[in-house]
Amino acid sequence: MKTLMHKRGNLLRRNQRVLSVSLLLATLAACQKNIDQKPVGIDSEEQVSTQATSGGNIIWSENADGSSFLTGGLSLSIQYATSYGITQSTTQVFNGTKSARFELRDTDAESHSGTRAEISFPTPTTNNFWYSYALYMPSAQYKDETDDEVITQWHGGGGITPAISLRVTNGHLVMRTPDDARTDLGTIEKDRWHTYVYHIIHSSGSDGLIEIWKDGKQIVSRKGASMYKITGDFHLPNWKMGIYKSDWNGTKTTSTNLRVLYFDDIKYGKATATYNEMLPVGKTTTTPTSPTDGSTTQPTLPTNGLSVSSFTLVNSDTEKDVQTISNGQTISLSALKLAKANIRAITAGTIANVKFELSGKQSKTYTDAAAPFALHGDDGNGNYYYGNWNPPALGTYTLKATPYDSKGVAGTAKTITFTIAK
């Protein structure tokens, strides 16, 4: 962990060409991260209003094009502490002429008791809503790292982690739910726009529902509790989007110091909204046809929608991800300083278990019934087992992973061949 003085040094170096007044303000921000600081012209406690631009089933929408960006009707809390936290941008555009640009640095002052650049929507009075946006993650300004950050959340209060949160770790989008389960939703392909549509029935009971579509394909259909029980300080979850990185709170930092995201065609819809209405529309977006059975959620999952998309090599000594394993790759144990190893499957969909079939110098068949799904399993608390891979025997292997739903129906499997070398 870097010291506060080291973080100030980083900030000074990054701003050496800026006017002295700006440099002083930025330095003070790095030194006073424990307060909600308000730089000149920025109100981190600001309550603004935004009105629905589409009417009907769309409660609120924003494509960042107008001069009234984030102003006029629905009360929002705009939570950031810098002049660059949330701005309009013409650099990356999905719909129209501009997008909403969110930037967070490890030296930013805290806003609302955290290092964040977020839009927070009002606490709702009903529990069934649709949400959507187009997302662009630039590779040069969003380097992969293990320490995660939240880019979308539904927070129910109570002084604990959000009921539902979408987090980015090692370039993957991971969903965390009230049962503390983490579902890997796959790699976020950078330097291109992606559309995300969410339909959530917020409930602490079995009637809860989470549905997520990425680029027109449904990747989550999860029934069951989607919020904490309303009691004491807990309330119906309100939507927040942007960037929140708790690992930068106080004087802390991580292996990265910058996060930049672009959002466009953001929509907040009623329970009566449809997938077609909520789908972000860009210059190259093809609008799907409406379902014929009267349902509001579409397109439907191919088969059961489960899949294994890739494999990640894990260091079972440090419990950290090492790298994605590509087909035909040679893995050097000495170069990676690796002894105790495991392999995790990157999955999509609501998966009951994953069956691993390993053949080669060492063979193994194992079914992991709880995420994270790994060849040698884990204890459920982030500690990966390594079986007889201490270290793995040198040689060539073939690994197949097949996901299954709760009814035992298989999804799309993934098979790779790789070589373990000294």
Domain boundaries, the chain: 32-278, 307-421
Q: Would you state the pLDDT for residue 299?
A: 41
Of 10-19, 163-172, 310-319, which range is least confident?
Answer: 10-19
Q: Tell me how crowded residue 128 is: count the other CB atoms within 10 A of its CB.
A: 16
pLDDT at position 75, please? 83
Note the pTM of the prediction, 2 decimals. Answer: 0.61
The CA-atom distances, in angstroms, between 137 and each of 102, 187, 242, 392 are 10, 12, 12, 36
- Establish whether domains 32-278 and 307-421 are of one fold: no
Structure tokens at 186: 């796959």
pLDDT of 348 above 70:
yes
User: What pLDDT does 73 receive?
Assistant: 58
Of 184, 188, 109, 194, nearest to 142 by C-alpha is 188
391 preceded by a cis bond (ω within 30 of 0):
yes
**For 307-421, CATH number?**
2.60.40.10
Q: So what's the pLDDT on residue 72?
A: 53
Looking at residue 9, its pLDDT comes to 42
CATH of domain 32-278: 2.60.120.200
Least confident range of 87-96, 132-141, 155-164, 405-414: 405-414
Please compute the mean of the pLDDT values over residues 257-272 and round it to a whole number: 96
- Please answer whether residues 219 and 213 qualify as being in contact, where contact means their C-beta atoms are separated by less than 8 angstroms: yes
Residues 6+ apart with CB under 8 A from 156: 162, 163, 202, 227, 228, 230, 234, 235, 236, 237
What are 69-94's pLDDT values in tens digits?
Answer: 876 557 889 999 999 999 999 999 99
